[in-house]
């Protein structure tokens, strides 16, 4: 009798062990999701390149980490959307005032930054910071004049686009495109494409950047809607519209590839672009 009572008393414990294992797994998943949410909200936001405006520095199919701490938190720092089953839920920031808060730092000339388009804050743009508040900027024959001084622009080896489905400059695939090395006054160097000697935005009036605003340009000069075009482009970008600074490429895949076709990854992934610092 005592032996049977002992066995029956042990059975509830035996049943509880699998339940405890499931609950431990659920807790680990919840903790992982909370950590990911914290990192996504406050530290680093993933961003993918949808257009060719930043060629050759950034390509369609690149995935970046954007540092939110770089410029502090602002009005649009916590805006993001969640999509599932064909529906999208937008999560909006609880901050609604100009400027930045917490760890405030200003964008530096040469930074690649993600920001909200001033005329449509549902749209994210990524460009290079060229003009700071108070700067005088003008394009003359494709050369940037910054406060009256020409930015150094040297012709280097032509660029040949290897991705036929991401042609960024309306030229036949494989055709060489004039490529230049630009050097900003602070010493930041980067490559630009400029294949039209008389592009629509190669000659502009002089722009004077307002206080707390920035002048943004794409590296693919003839295929970038940016601050050079105050009407169809982005105009001057206020500091509160900045989301963060693009720091590193963590993944890159050919634009014609589908992410769910895992079996094609070895052939479509651009392995050489992984962990490229920007």
Q: Look at residue 202 and give its three-state secondary structure.
A: coil
How far is the C-alpha of 226 from the C-alpha of 228, rounded, in Å? 5
How far is the C-alpha of 79 from the C-alpha of 123, rounded, in Å? 11
Identify whether 56 is preceded by a cis peptide bond (ω within 30 of 0). yes
How far is the C-alpha of 219 from the C-alpha of 224, rounded, in Å? 8
DSSP for residue 151? P
Confirm whether 127 is a catalytic residue.
Answer: yes
Sequence-separated (6 or more) residues with CB below 8 Å from residue 47: 63, 64, 65, 66, 114, 124, 126, 246
How far is the C-alpha of 173 from the C-alpha of 176, rounded, in Å? 9
Scanning the structure block, which residue is given the tokens 């105009």? Answer: 235
Given the residues 53, 166, 224, 252, select the one marked as catalytic: 53
Signed CA dihedral, 232, 237, 240, 241: sign only = positive
> Given its phi and psi angles, is residue 142 left (phi above 0), alpha (psi -120 to 50 degrees) or beta?
left
User: Tokens at residue 59, please?
Assistant: 């390509």
Confirm whether 70 is a catalytic residue.
Answer: no
Given the residues 59, 68, 116, 127, select the one marked as catalytic: 127
Among all residues, which ones are annotated catalytic?
A: 53, 127
């Amino acid at each position: 009798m005592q032996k049977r009572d002992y066995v029956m008393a042990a059975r509830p414990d035996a049943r509880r062990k699998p339940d405890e294992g499931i609950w431990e797994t659920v807790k680990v998943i919840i903790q992982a999701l909370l950590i990911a949410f914290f990192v996504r909200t406050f530290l680093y936001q993933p961003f993918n390149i949808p257009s060719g405006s930043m060629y050759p520095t950034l390509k369609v199919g690149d995935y970046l980490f954007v540092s939110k701490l770089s410029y502090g938190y602002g009005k649009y720092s916590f805006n993001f959307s969640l999509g599932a089953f064909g529906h999208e839920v937008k999560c909006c920031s609880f901050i609604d005032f100009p400027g930045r808060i917490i760890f405030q730092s200003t964008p530096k000339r040469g930074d690649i930054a993600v920001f909200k388009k001033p005329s449509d804050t549902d749209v994210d743009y990524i460009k290079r910071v060229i003009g700071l508040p108070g700067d005088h900027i003008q394009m003359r024959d494709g050369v940037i004049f910054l406060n009256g001084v020409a930015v150094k622009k040297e012709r280097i080896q032509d660029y040949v686009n290897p991705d036929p489905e991401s042609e960024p400059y309306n030229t036949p695939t494989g055709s060489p495109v004039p490529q230049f090395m630009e050097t900003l006054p602070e010493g930041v160097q980067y490559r630009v494409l400029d294949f039209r000697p008389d592009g629509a935005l190669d000659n502009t009036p002089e722009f004077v950047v307002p206080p707390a605003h920035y002048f943004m340009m794409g590296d693919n000069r003839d295929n970038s809607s940016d601050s050079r075009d105050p009407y169809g482009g982005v105009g001057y970008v206020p500091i509160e519209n900045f989301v963060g600074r693009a720091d590193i490429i963590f993944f890159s895949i050919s634009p014609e590839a589908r992410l769910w076709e895992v079996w094609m990854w070895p052939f479509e992934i651009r392995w050489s672009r992984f962990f490229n610092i920007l």
